[in-house]
Amino acid sequence: MSNVFVDNKSFNFKHEAKYSAKSEPGINKGLIEEISSYKNEPESMLKQRLNSLEVFKNTKKPGFGVDTSNLDIQKIIPYLRPEANKGNNWDDVPYEIKDTFERLGIPESERKALAGVGAQYDSEVVYQNIKKELENIGVVFLDMETAVKEFPELVRKYFMKLVPANDHKYAALHGAIWSGGSFVYVPENTEVSLPLQAYFRMNAQGTGQFEHTLIVADRGSKVHFIEGCSAPRYNIHNLHAGMVEIFVKEGASVRYSTIQNWSKNTFNLNTKRAIVEENGTMEWISGSLGSEKTMLYPATILKGKRAHAYHLGVTYAGDGQHMDTGSKVIHLGSETTSNIDVRSISVNGGWAFYRGLLKIAKGAKRSRSSVKCTSLMVDNDSRADTYPVIEVENNLSDIGHEAKIGRIGEEELFYIMSRGLTEDDAKAMIVRGFIEPITKELPLEYAVELNRLINIEMDSSIG
């Protein structure tokens, strides 16, 4: 089998469409057309999907990051079909996931939705109230698929303009098969007082493997968006390739908070990017706990004068996990500022790799940036690397950089244990302390849940 080499070009059928999607393997034009027509999309979106598909076929995998050799894209096809039976069986959901639901005290009604086995979480009532309030101030908060139909101009203007299909292979894949996600538009000088939570939008159809989130914060507006939820999410298809694009207009301010906790069979190859105009502020608050392998580098492009970026992130790499994460900030405008504080924890053989980029372009005169990356290895089996790249193209800017990799100190551990805590509890306490700067930025219920998750994770890995 391994000796048979098939040259794709020589088997390039001209009329793929006439082949039924069922008989031909692979993600192809027929399948994309099927998805698009089922979603009743405008022609322009179908075109964009097909262009992305072409790019996907002609692009190599990134030459860095996690090993994706056992990621089988073909496996996701059955789940892409609109009529596919999405309902996984509750009995197939792994024990650890059910156990975590139990220990987190997730209500019965939500568990099935989180595990992707149907039964929509009944958030409709809560959501309807919020929706009314939002409508009154002119804020649009819709699922992406509805937005494509109801706000075609806005979508055409922004959708995949910040992360085009040719950005990388999985961006192209996303462009071809995306489904679900959220669309947010905040009008000029409007402040959304409550955080918008994608949680309310979650449903059985779009548990979010390929969700697209698009946020446009118009001049002088302010919004906080919270993605997903921290409870573990199980999906039988093992790939998550979502995308987030955020447009921060003049003087606007956006905070985007996430706690990612995909089940341990998942490749999490996600793309998040924001572009900030003059005097605008973008804040990424991220926690990456789940998945088997993750590649995720939230990025901010500081385009306008005095634009500001704040990246705060924590990555947790436990047993069998390889997390390749980091922050990217590109300073284009003058007097732009950024503040990056990212931390990783590796436990029980986990591998946390920090891959960061800070670029100060020639025109970004008098810019300032502070980059801090800190790694904590809880035991000797674990691994942490940092690979920060800093490129500065003018000599009028001011950069501070600090990278630290450390282990839990014997002395700290002994101290805490001498007050009666077990080694596991003491380690978990030190880890909670290590990520405190992130948890304190999260809404309370997320912070509490993140701490409990860390306890559960550490409990099962060390204990």
Partner 1 sequence: MGGRSVSLLKIEDLHVKLVDEDIEILKGINLDIKSGETHAIMGPNGSGKSTLANIIMGNPKYKVTSGKIIYDGEIINDLGVAERANRGIFLSFQHPPEINGIKLRNFLFTTKQKNNKTSMIEMNREVETIIKNMRMSSDFLNRFLNVGFSGGEKKKNEVMQLAFLKKKLAILDEVDSGLDVDALRDIANIVNEYKNNSNGLLLITHYKRILEYIVPDNVHILMSGRIISSGGKELAEQVEQSGYSFAVAESEE
List interacting residues with partner 1 (CB under 8 A): 409-412, 414-423, 426, 429-430, 432-437
CB of 132 to partner 1, least distance (A): 38
- What single letter denotes the amino acid at residue 305? K
CB of 400 to partner 1, least distance (A): 19
Task: Give the Cα separation of 11 and 21 in Å (integer).
Answer: 17
Q: Among 199, 255, 257, 253, which residue's Cα sits nearest to residue 226?
A: 257
Nearer Cβ to partner 1 (188/425): 425
For the purposes of burial, counting CB atoms within 10 Å of the CB of 379, is it exposed (0-12), middle (13-18) or buried (19 or more)? Answer: middle
Kindly report the number of other CB atoms within 10 A of residue 316's CB atom: 26
Nearer Cβ to partner 1 (16/424): 424
CB of 376 to partner 1, least distance (A): 11
Nearer Cβ to partner 1 (233/427): 427
CB of 309 to partner 1, least distance (A): 24
Q: Among 110, 90, 93, 104, which residue's Cα sits nearest to residue 459?
A: 104
| Rg, C-alpha atoms of the chain | 22
Q: Are 169 and 60 in contact (CB under 8 A)?
A: yes
CB of 448 to partner 1, least distance (A): 13
Nearer Cβ to partner 1 (35/431): 431
Nearer Cβ to partner 1 (250/436): 436
Q: Between β-strands 140-143 and 182-186, what pairing exists: parallel, antiparallel or unpaired?
A: antiparallel
Q: How far is CA 164 from the centre of its chain?
A: 17
CB of 3 to partner 1, least distance (A): 55
Nearer Cβ to partner 1 (332/377): 377
DSSP letter string, 34-96: HHHHHTT--HHHHHHHHHHHHHHHH-PPPSSSS--TT--GGGGHHHHSTTS-----GGGS-HH
